[in-house]
């Protein structure tokens, strides 16, 4: 694809949050190469369920072959924004549907989204003022532990894995690098606390922000078809994979995650790297 097409897709993501390309037939290499046009690709901290030969691609699936799961079976099954726990935040998720569970002719295993740009716009002005310079801490291990508390069989992170992803801070209200609008950049999956508030105030404020973002008026659910290539903007959305299908109703997705190294102002990225250095 020509660079102007990639730029048009980036603009569409900044404006709409989620962009769908139905009925594609991408090989894993094509998916990786397409994803890499948007920025650096992440290699997941778990280092498991990677597409053979493509460490930047993760297999999400409930399929078990020869007694072994072929992918992570419960990826993203609660509200979160990927990679807010990275110094340079995540930008795009490129998810391709290979198998979609169906029941009574209807697709299951959809992905729900909320729009945190629209949610920011509607916040009361006193909340915007109070939190204008606030920052929040994001911890990769928090979502892992949340899933384990819900019965996930994913293993606890090792100390080495935790050290490789120490918690990081980002503004509570981030300026979106594409749209220029503010977004509410905290999420239930990874945000541990608001740094400038007491623990009690932080908990109450996060609870209030989460209830605000979760209003149905900001929501969209994508109901998958095989061949869909879905791109979403992590900076302006939250998402949640809907676990409404049974173990014998098979879902198979392949995922590449893109970092926001290309789309942010270099000064912003310098600051991120300097703070941690």
The DSSP code for 234 is G
The residue with tokens 């002719």 is: 105
10 binds ligand SIN (CB under 6 A): no
Q: Indicate which single residue of 76, 89, 188, 236 sits in contact with ligand SIN (rule: CB under 6 A).
A: 76
**152: number of Cβ within 10 Å:** 16
Contacts of 142 (CB under 8 A, 6+ apart): 189, 190, 191, 192
Q: Indicate which single residue of 26, 41, 75, 92 sits in contact with ligand SIN (rule: CB under 6 A).
A: 75
Question: At closest approach, how far in Å is the CB of 188 from ligand SIN?
Answer: 13
Whole-angstrom distance, CA of residue 277 vs CA of residue 264: 19
179 binds ligand SIN (CB under 6 A): no
CB 45 within 8 A of CB 104: no
Q: How many residues bind ligand SIN (CB under 6 A)?
A: 10
253 binds ligand SIN (CB under 6 A): yes
Tell me the backbone φ, ψ of residue 75, rounded to 5 degrees: -60, 130
Three-state DSSP class for 91? strand
Question: At closest approach, how far in Å is the CB of 127 from ligand SIN?
Answer: 28
Q: Indicate which single residue of 86, 93, 115, 142 sits in contact with ligand SIN (rule: CB under 6 A).
A: 93
If the CB atoms of residues 111 and 187 are measured against ligand SIN, the closer one turns out to be 111
Find the residue with minimal CB distance to ligand SIN.
76
- Binding segment toward ligand SIN, per CB under 6 A, in 39-47, 75-83, 139-147, 269-277: 75-83
Whole-angstrom distance, CA of residue 46 vs CA of residue 173: 29
Query: Rule CB under 6 A: which residues touch ligand SIN?
Result: 60, 75-76, 82, 93, 111, 239, 241, 253, 255
């Amino acid at each position: 694809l020509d660079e102007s097409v990639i730029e048009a897709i980036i603009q569409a993501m900044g404006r709409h949050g989620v962009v769908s390309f139905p009925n594609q037939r991408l090989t894993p290499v094509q998916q990786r190469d397409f994803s890499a046009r948007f920025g650096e690709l992440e290699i997941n901290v778990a280092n498991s369920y990677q597409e053979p030969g493509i460490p930047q691609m993760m297999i999400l699936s409930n399929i078990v072959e020869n007694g072994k799961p072929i992918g992570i079976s419960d990826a993203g099954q609660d509200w979160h924004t990927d990679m807010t726990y990275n110094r340079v935040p995540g930008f795009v998720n490129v998810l391709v549907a290979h198998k979609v569970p169906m029941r009574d002719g209807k697709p299951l295993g959809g992905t729900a989204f909320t729009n945190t740009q629209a949610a920011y716009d509607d916040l009361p002005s006193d909340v915007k003022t109070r939190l204008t310079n606030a920052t929040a801490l994001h911890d990769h291990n928090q979502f892992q532990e949340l899933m384990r508390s819900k019965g996930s069989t994913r293993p606890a992170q090792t100390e080495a894995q935790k050290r490789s992803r120490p918690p990081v801070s980002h503004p509570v209200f981030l300026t979106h690098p594409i749209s220029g609008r503010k977004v509410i950049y905290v999420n239930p999956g990874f945000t541990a606390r608001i740094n400038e508030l007491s623990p009690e105030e932080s908990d109450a404020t996060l609870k209030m922000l989460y209830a605000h973002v979760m209003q149905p008026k900001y929501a969209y659910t994508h109901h998958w078809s095989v061949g869909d290539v879905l791109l979403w903007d992590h900076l302006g959305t939250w998402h949640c994979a809907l676990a409404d299908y049974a173990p014998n109703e098979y879902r198979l997705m392949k995922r590449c995650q893109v970092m926001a190294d290309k789309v942010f102002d270099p000064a912003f990225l310098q600051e991120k790297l300097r703070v941690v250095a």
